[in-house]
């Protein structure tokens, strides 16, 4: 299996993988596709190195099968292996108010919140030692 070449990104080892996004009857999500950073494994597989905003069914560190288009862009085909992580979306709508909290969603105003950052970084989750 051959490793694929990087198509750019924050470091030479990262590639951008594009996911097509089907829209529902209300037009959600507001975009037709989403690009996520990944690390190449073989010519047709990558490990996601990003948490998605809109793509459903994938999370940081999942193994994804990709295909290369004629323009050399990588497109996601399917998830091959689950990382053990999940993506949780919290979407505050302008009309919504948290009872007794107003519309302030900052972590600093919530002493009951965990100090763990809400990001794609790992916090004691599963690790695959074979690829590290």
28-71 pLDDT, tens digit per residue, is: 899 999 999 999 999 999 999 989 999 999 999 999 999 999 99
Tell me: the pLDDT tens digits for 91-128? 777 665 656 555 555 544 444 444 443 444 444 444 45
Domain assignments of the chain as residue spans, ordered by start: 1-88
Given this model, what pLDDT does residue 98 score?
59
Task: Say if residues 48 and 56 touch (Cβ distance below 8 Å).
Answer: no
What span, in angstroms and rounded, lies between the C-alpha atoms of 20 and 13? 23
HSE value, Cβ hemisphere, 13 Å, CA-based, for 50: 20
Band of pLDDT at residue 4, cut at 50, 70 and 90: very low
Residue 89: the pLDDT is 83
Q: Please report where in the chains the tokens 């951008």 appear, as a residue.
A: 16
Q: Which band of pLDDT confidence, cut at 50, 70 and 90, is reported for residue 90?
A: confident
Cα–chain center distance at 16 = 11
HEC secondary structure over the chain: CCCCCCCCCCCCCCEEEEEECCCCCCCCCCCCEEEEEEEEEECCEEEECCCCCCCCCCCCCCEEEEEECCCCCEEEEEEEECCCCCCCCCCCCCCCCECCCECCCCHHHCCCCCCCCCCCCCCCCCCCHHHC
Please tell me whether the overall predicted TM-score, pTM, comes out greater than 0.75 for this model. Answer: no
Higher pLDDT, 121 or 72: 72
Q: Which pLDDT belongs to residue 120?
A: 41
Where residue 75 falls among pLDDT bands split at 50, 70, 90?
very high
Q: Contacts from 77-81 at CB under 8 Å and sequence distance 24+?
A: 80/45
């Amino acid at each position: 299996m051959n490793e694929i070449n990087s198509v750019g990104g924050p470091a030479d080892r990262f590639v951008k993988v594009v996911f097509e996004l089907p829209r529902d009857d209300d037009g959600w999500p507001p975009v037709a596709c989403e690009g996520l950073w990944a690390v190449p494994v073989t010519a047709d597989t990558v490990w996601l190195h990003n948490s998605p905003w809109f793509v459903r069914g994938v999370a940081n560190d999942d193994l994804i099968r990709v295909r290369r288009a004629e323009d050399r862009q990588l497109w996601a085909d399917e998830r091959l292996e689950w990382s053990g992580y999940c993506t949780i979306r919290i979407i505050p709508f302008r009309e919504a108010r948290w009872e007794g909290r107003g519309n302030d969603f900052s972590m600093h105003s919530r002493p009951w919140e965990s100090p763990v950052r809400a990001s794609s970084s790992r916090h004691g989750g599963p690790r695959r030692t074979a690829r590290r």
